[in-house]
Amino acid sequence: PELKKISYKGVTGDIKFDSKGDIENGALTLFTYQGGKKNKLDVIR
């Protein structure tokens, strides 16, 4: 895939893709809202 050729320096760090087009070293941040306030639960890598 063409994505594996892309390397981008973004605000949150380098963005790269593997040979299958999946993001390398990706992270998912989980949030919850309580009383109208946003709270971070966890970061999953």
Nearest to 42 by CA among 26, 32, 11, 15: 32
pLDDT at 41: 96
Mean pLDDT, consecutive 10-residue stretches, the chain (45 aa), reads 79 84 87 96 91
* Domain span at 11: 2-44
Structural domain total, the chain = 1
Q: Per residue, what are the HEC states of the chain?
A: CHHHHCEEEECCEEEEECCCCCECCCCEEEEEEECCEEEEEEEEC
pTM of the predicted model, to two decimals?
0.49
